[in-house]
């Protein structure tokens, strides 16, 4: 579905990604693991077209999207849940979702479906996003991305700073999307949260892919983790 | 004239200043709020509005039709010019807050000198489309209770009332645009988080061009409205820019209600102090007010503190 082939990217003169390649398949959760500064968030931003590519290609179902203007990338069907949620803080829940719906001119029933997944948001439609609790903010960030009926979903540390019940709620939604055939790329620090849900794990270091492993293998042979992550 | 009617007259003059100032400052505040660009050339868009109003009204044959033609066409012409300046200059600087200040200073001088070369150094008026003198009553407390009197000189013209009404209508429209429409939602989302806006399909470059054009169009509209009262001159942008900055700083950058309140405050005090004391004192007090706001409430009356 989403293929990243040998991309170089970075911030101005600072190159972060060096020939990074990975692919994200429909109905699978691909997890990006690596230490701080390895290039996980940079990979996400490069896919979203927020950083110029120095080399390489990014294709979505065969279409080259690596050199589209940033605002065209989500219109191809990529939903992005950025690190730290990045809600439009002064807008209401309804307005945040409206922006998600506007991205691809989603029909109205999409909103109903999204609110079915997150009933707590339905009660808070008129509330400003900045007044929500951390868990509700994460739900809103997820719901906003789902409003564009994504073929590919990028989640950057969705469980950061959340209480266990919220983490579980988010996890259930992600697993449900996977079963509906969405291709999911997940960045996560907490291994336990990842291993049980992921299909494949991509280890990155210094902006390059070190290893790609089946999550099932990692569950069976935890010593592999030690080799890749030193944990 | 006695003190009471005199004060009312000064307040009415101040209200006209406030109306024009509010339009102009709303444009400046919008551009800063959404784009984080301090547009030093904003006063020149106001000047261009006035100067082009003279030109367009002349081409359309003068009189009321000429003024109406100017009122419609000039803000659009100036907005298009501002969009071109955005594309040609500001976008190439990636909207960097410091470099755009220097760039807009450059645009200021280019526009000012072009106006001098094309329009000349004279101040020229445009005839108002209508200009009836409306005498206003005053209530005196006579021996037998309140009496309605018509003091000599207490009056306003219908055109000045029109300026106040037009400004109020346009500002109400701007508020509705920002809070009730899709394009307003897109502008506010861009203001709050440019990068995330892009990841939801918002073409930030086009939004910026639109906002810069809208801001300049508001300044130009203010210029068209004022020219039957004040005459068009190529240096008129300087004072207007200073007052707009004063209003925007007092009101809180990026806050439309704050801008409106501050415009009324500064416009009225400017009118009243100018009439009773001197215009210079009015400017001194306004500038002092800015200094006090910056010391005691740096975010302005209605602005939010930086997070």
Residue B41 in this model has a pLDDT that exceeds 60: yes
Question: Which residues in chain B have Cβ-Cβ distances shorter than 8 Å to A90?
Answer: 188, 192
Residue B146 in this model has a pLDDT that exceeds 90: no
Most B-contacting residue of A44, A99, A153 (CB-CB within 10 A), to test interface: A99
Question: What whole-number distance in Å separates Cα of residue A109 and Cα of residue B137?
Answer: 60
Residue of A145, A146, A147, A124 lying closest to A136 (CA atoms) = A124
Task: With respect to residue B144, please indicate whether it lies within any of the assigned structural domains.
Answer: no
Task: With respect to residue B167, please indicate whether it lies within any of the assigned structural domains.
Answer: yes
> In which domain, by residue range, is B167 found?
3-130+152-296
pLDDT by residue (tens digit) across B224-264? Answer: 999 999 999 999 999 999 999 999 999 987 788 999 999 99
Mean residue pLDDT of chain A comes to: 91
Within its chain, how far is the Cα of B297 from the centroid? Answer: 23
- A17: closest CA of chain B, how far (Å): 20
Residue B32 in this model has a pLDDT that exceeds 60: yes
Task: With respect to residue B37, please indicate whether it lies within any of the assigned structural domains.
Answer: yes
Query: Which residue of A lies nearest to B193 if distances are taken between CA atoms?
Result: A88
Question: Which residues in chain A have Cβ-Cβ distances shorter than 8 Å to B196?
Answer: 82, 86, 88
pLDDT by residue (tens digit) across B80-115? Answer: 999 999 999 999 999 999 999 999 999 999 999 999
What is the mean pLDDT of the segment spanning B203-211? 97
In chain A, the largest separation of any two C-alpha atoms, in whole Å, equals 49
Task: With respect to residue B175, please indicate whether it lies within any of the assigned structural domains.
Answer: yes
The verdict on a CB contact (< 8 Å) between A103 and B200 is: yes
Question: Which residues in chain B have Cβ-Cβ distances shorter than 8 Å to A68?
Answer: none
The verdict on a CB contact (< 8 Å) between A71 and B201 is: yes
Residue B182 in this model has a pLDDT that exceeds 60: yes
Contact B272, B11 (CB under 8 A): yes
Task: With respect to residue B146, please indicate whether it lies within any of the assigned structural domains.
Answer: no
pLDDT by residue (tens digit) across B270-304? Answer: 889 988 999 899 989 999 999 999 999 888 888 77
End-to-end CA distance of chain A: 31
Contact B78, B216 (CB under 8 A): yes
Q: What is the CATH number of the domain that holds B31?
A: 1.10.3470
Residue of A8, A38, A2, A49 lying closest to A187 (CA atoms) = A38
Between CA B10 and CA B21, with CA B15 as vertex, the angle to 5 degrees is 125
Query: In this predicted structure, what is the pLDDT of residue A229?
Result: 67
Q: Which residue has the tokens 């909103």?
A: A111
3-state secondary structure of A152: strand
Contact B156, A66 (CB under 8 A): no
Kindly indicate the confidence band of residue B26, based on its pLDDT and cuts at 50, 70 and 90. very high
Whether the CA torsion B103, B109, B111, B117 is positive or negative: it is negative
ipTM of model over 0.85: yes
What is the mean pLDDT of the segment spanning A23-47? 92
Kindly indicate the confidence band of residue A37, based on its pLDDT and cuts at 50, 70 and 90. confident
Give the one of B188, B202, B205 whose C-beta lies nearest to A91's C-beta. B188
Domain segments of chain A: what residues? 2-77+150-229, 89-149
Q: Which residue has the tokens 């339905």?
A: A122
Query: Which residue of A lies nearest to B186 if distances are taken between CA atoms?
Result: A99
Query: Which residue of B lies nearest to A51 if distances are taken between CA atoms?
Result: B195
Query: Which residue of B lies nearest to A80 if distances are taken between CA atoms?
Result: B199
What is the mean pLDDT of the segment spanning A188-204? 82
Q: Tell which A residues from 196 to 215 touch B, by Cβ distance under 8 Å.
A: none
The count of structural domains within chain B is: 1
Task: With respect to residue B226, please indicate whether it lies within any of the assigned structural domains.
Answer: yes
CATH superfamily of A2-77+150-229: P-loop containing nucleotide triphosphate hydrolases (3.40.50.300)
What is the mean pLDDT of the segment spanning B177-193? 95
Task: With respect to residue B303, please indicate whether it lies within any of the assigned structural domains.
Answer: no
Give the one of B186, B199, B204 whose C-beta lies nearest to A82's C-beta. B199
The verdict on a CB contact (< 8 Å) between A148 and B200 is: yes
Q: What are phi and psi of B157, to 5 degrees?
A: -95, 155
Residue A194 in this model has a pLDDT that exceeds 80: no
Most B-contacting residue of A41, A85, A88, A93 (CB-CB within 10 A), to test interface: A88
Query: In this predicted structure, what is the pLDDT of residue A162?
Result: 87
Kindly indicate the confidence band of residue A231, based on its pLDDT and cuts at 50, 70 and 90. low
Residue A1 in this model has a pLDDT that exceeds 90: no
Question: What whole-number distance in Å separates Cα of residue A37 and Cα of residue A217?
Answer: 26
Query: Which residue of B lies nearest to A46 if distances are taken between CA atoms?
Result: B199
Residue B307 in this model has a pLDDT that exceeds 60: no
């Amino acid at each position: 579905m989403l293929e990243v082939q040998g991309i170089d990217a970075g911030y101005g003169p600072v190159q972060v990604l060096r020939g990074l390649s990975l692919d994200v398949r429909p109905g699978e959760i691909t997890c990006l693991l690596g230490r701080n500064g390895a290039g996980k968030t940079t990979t996400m931003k490069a896919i979203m077209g927020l950083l110029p590519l120095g080399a390489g290609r990014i294709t979505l179902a065969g279409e080259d999207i690596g050199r589209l203007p940033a605002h065209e990338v989500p219109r191809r069907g990529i939903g992005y849940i950025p690190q730290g949620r990045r809600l439009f803080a002064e807008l209401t829940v309804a307005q945040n979702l409206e922006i998600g719906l506007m991205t691809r001119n989603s029909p109205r029933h999409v909103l109903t479906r999204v609110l079915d997944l997150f009933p707590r948001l339905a009660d808070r439609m008129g509330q400003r996003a900045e007044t929500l609790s951390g868990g509700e903010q994460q739900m809103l960030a997820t719901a906003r991305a789902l409003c564009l009926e994504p073929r590919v979903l990028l989640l950057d540390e969705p469980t950061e700073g959340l209480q266990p019940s919220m983490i579980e709620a988010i996890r259930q939604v992600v697993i449900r999307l996977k079963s509906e055939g969405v291709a999911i790329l997940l960045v996560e620090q907490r291994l336990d949260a990842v291993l049980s849900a992921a299909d494949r794990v991509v280890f990155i270091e210094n902006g390059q892919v070190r290893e790609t492993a089946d999550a099932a293998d990692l569950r069976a042979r935890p010593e592999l983790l030690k080799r890749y992550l030193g944990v | 004239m006695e003190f009471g009617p005199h004060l009312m007259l000064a307040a009415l003059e101040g209200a006209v200043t406030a109306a024009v100032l509010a339009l102009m400052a709303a444009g400046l505040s919008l551009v800063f709020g959404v784009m984080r660009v301090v547009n030093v050339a904003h006063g020149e868009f106001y000047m261009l509005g006035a100067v082009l109003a003279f030109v367009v009204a002349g081409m359309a044959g003068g009189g009321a039709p000429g003024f109406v033609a100017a009122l419609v066409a000039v803000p659009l012409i100036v907005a298009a010019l501002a969009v071109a300046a955005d594309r040609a200059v500001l976008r190439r600087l990636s909207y960097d807050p410091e470099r755009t200040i220097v760039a807009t200073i450059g645009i200021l001088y280019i526009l000012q000198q072009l106006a001098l070369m094309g329009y000349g150094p004279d101040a020229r008026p445009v005839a108002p489309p209508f200009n009836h003198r409306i005498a206003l009553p005053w209530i005196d407390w006579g021996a037998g209770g309140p009496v309605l009197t018509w003091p000599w000189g207490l009056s306003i013209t219908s055109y000045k009332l029109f300026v106040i009404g037009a400004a109020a209508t346009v500002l109400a429209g701007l508020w509705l645009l920002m809070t009730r429409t899709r394009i307003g939602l897109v502008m506010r989302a861009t203001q709050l988080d440019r990068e995330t806006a892009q990841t939801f399909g918002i073409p930030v470059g086009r939004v910026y061009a639109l906002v810069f054009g809208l801001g300049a169009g508001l300044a130009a509209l203010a210029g068209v409205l004022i020219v039957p009262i004040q005459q068009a001159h190529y240096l008129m942008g300087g004072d207007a820019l200073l007052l707009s900055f004063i209003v925007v700083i007092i009101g809180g950058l990026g806050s439309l209600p704050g801008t409106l309140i501050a415009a009324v405050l500064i416009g009225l005090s400017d009118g009243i102090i100018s009439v009773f004391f001197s215009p210079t004192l009015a400017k001194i007090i306004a500038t002092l007010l800015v200094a006090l706001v910056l010391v005691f409430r740096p975010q302005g009356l209605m602005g939010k503190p930086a997070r």
